[in-house]
């Protein structure tokens, strides 16, 4: 095994903070866990204020700043904003204030879509807030080149509550998915970006509706890959030998979060803690 760089263990063995408006960011946490099994995770889900997709940009920025400042106060070495709406509206603010590297999900997903498309007809599904921001459209046009790419965006507001309520297998989910995705099928997109970290939970259903010729881009997997690169670039990869300890925190209903979240993260979630993030902005980040 390669030796750890001298003097790097203390900072490198701090946890990675993962933030989402609810439990959808667990898809990102799971992707990080699988890709980098040595990394400890501190997850925060803002379950008291979910969903962010229907909130104003100003509200999303305020909630996001409180959430990541809480993570800073816990001594994380990097933050993954595992929420497309928060990434679209708040990433620039979060990075400007950050004492640590901050990774979002939009740019990573856009890069994967740009690389995968053959027809340059790309579909995006997300919350109303993410779609209205135009973040994916802007990122794809920058990557592919202006009008060379056609981006078709479709808000899917009911997908988040379906996942949050554990109803992904309910017959109603199939009807809703067919209704939402029909316009994208008519546009003959060859790549579909799952522009919300809740949506990978519904990926089998979405794939069935769209058909085998359409490539699904999972922004959770792409964000995990970007995090790995960022940690390496900053010399922050963990060199621990023992299994890491993960913490899962929420702003409301920890028992319910643990019950639903364990369905796709597994039994390794353990106990879920309830924390309060209001006031973290006035206290300021804990810089080690």
What is d(CA 33, CA 274) in angstroms, rounded to the nearest whole number?
Answer: 22
Can you tell me the mean pLDDT for 107-128? Answer: 95
Structural contact between residues 129 and 89, judged by C-beta atoms closer than 8 angstroms:
yes
Q: Which secondary structure element, helix H or strand E, spans residue 152, and what is its range?
A: strand 150-155
DSSP 189-226: -SEEEE-STTGGGGHHHHHHHH-TTSEEEEHHHHHHHH
Ranking 43-57, 182-196, 265-279 by mean pLDDT, the lowest is: 265-279
The band of 260, judged by pLDDT with boundaries at 50, 70 and 90, is confident
What is d(CA 278, CA 106) in angstroms, rounded to the nearest whole number?
Answer: 26
Structure tokens at 6: 């001298």
Give the CA count within 13 Å in the CB-facing half-sphere of 258. 14
- Indicate whether 188 pLDDT > 60: yes
DSSP 23-54: STTHHHHHHHHHH-TT--EEEEE-TTS---TT
DSSP 100-119: S-EE-SHHHHHHHHHHH-SS
- Indicate whether 5 pLDDT > 60: no
CB under 8 Å to 178, separation ≥6 — which residues? 209
Can you tell me the mean pLDDT for 168-183? Answer: 96
The band of 121, judged by pLDDT with boundaries at 50, 70 and 90, is very high
- Indicate whether 268 pLDDT > 70: no
Looking at residue 83, the DSSP 8-state letter turns out to be -
Can you tell me the mean pLDDT for 125-145? Answer: 92
| Residue 6: per-residue pLDDT | 41
Can you tell me the mean pLDDT for 108-131? Answer: 94
Looking at residue 269, the DSSP 8-state letter turns out to be G
pTM: 0.87
| Residue 2: per-residue pLDDT | 38
What are the φ/ψ torsions at residue 30 (nearest 5 degrees)? -65, -40
| Residue 1: per-residue pLDDT | 32
Give per-residue pLDDT as tens, 219-243: 888 899 999 999 999 999 998 888 8
Give per-residue pLDDT as tens, 65-90: 999 999 999 999 999 999 999 999 99
Can you tell me the mean pLDDT for 97-126? Answer: 95
- Indicate whether 125 pLDDT > 90: yes
Residues noted as catalytic: 83, 196
Describe the chain by its helix, strand, coil percentages, rounded to 5: 50, 15, 35
Can you tell me the mean pLDDT for 44-64? Answer: 94
Structure tokens at 67: 């959430």
- Indicate whether 21 pLDDT > 60: yes
Average pLDDT score, the chain: 90
| CATH numbers and ranges of domains, the chain | 9-104+222-283 (3.40.50.1860), 106-219 (3.40.50.1860)
Give per-residue pLDDT as tens, 136-145: 999 999 998 7
The band of 204, judged by pLDDT with boundaries at 50, 70 and 90, is very high
């Amino acid at each position: 095994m390669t030796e750890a760089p001298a003097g790097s263990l203390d900072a490198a063995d701090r946890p990675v903070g993962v933030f989402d408006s609810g439990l959808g960011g667990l898809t990102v946490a799971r992707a990080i866990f699988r890709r980098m099994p040595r990394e400890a995770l501190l997850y925060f889900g803002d379950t008291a204020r979910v969903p962010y997709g229907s909130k104003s940009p100003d509200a999303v920025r305020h909630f996001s700043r409180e959430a990541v400042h809480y993570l800073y106060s816990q001594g994380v070495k990097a933050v993954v904003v595992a929420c497309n709406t928060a990434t679209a509206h708040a990433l620039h603010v979060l990075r400007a204030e950050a004492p640590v590297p901050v990774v979002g999900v939009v740019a990573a997903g856009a890069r994967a879509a740009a690389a995968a498309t053959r027809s340059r007809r790309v579909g995006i599904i997300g919350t109303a807030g993410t779609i209205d921001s135009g973040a994916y459209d802007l990122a794809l046009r920058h990557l592919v080149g202006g009008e060379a790419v056609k981006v078709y965006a479709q808000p899917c507001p009911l997908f988040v509550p379906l996942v949050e309520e554990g109803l992904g297998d309910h017959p109603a989910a199939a009807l809703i998915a067919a209704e939402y995705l029909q316009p994208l099928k008519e546009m003959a997109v060859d790549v579909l970006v799952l522009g919300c970290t809740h949506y990978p939970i519904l990926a089998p259903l979405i794939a069935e509706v769209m058909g085998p010729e359409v490539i699904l881009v999972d922004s959770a997997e792409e964000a995990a890959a970007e995090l790995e690169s960022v940690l390496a670039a900053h010399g922050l990869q963990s060199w621990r030998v023992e299994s890491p300890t993960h913490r899962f925190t929420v702003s409301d209903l920890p028992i319910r979060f643990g019950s639903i979240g364990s369905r796709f993260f597994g039994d390794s979630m353990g106990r879920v803690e309830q924390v309060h993030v209001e006031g973290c902005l006035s206290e300021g980040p804990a810089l080690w």
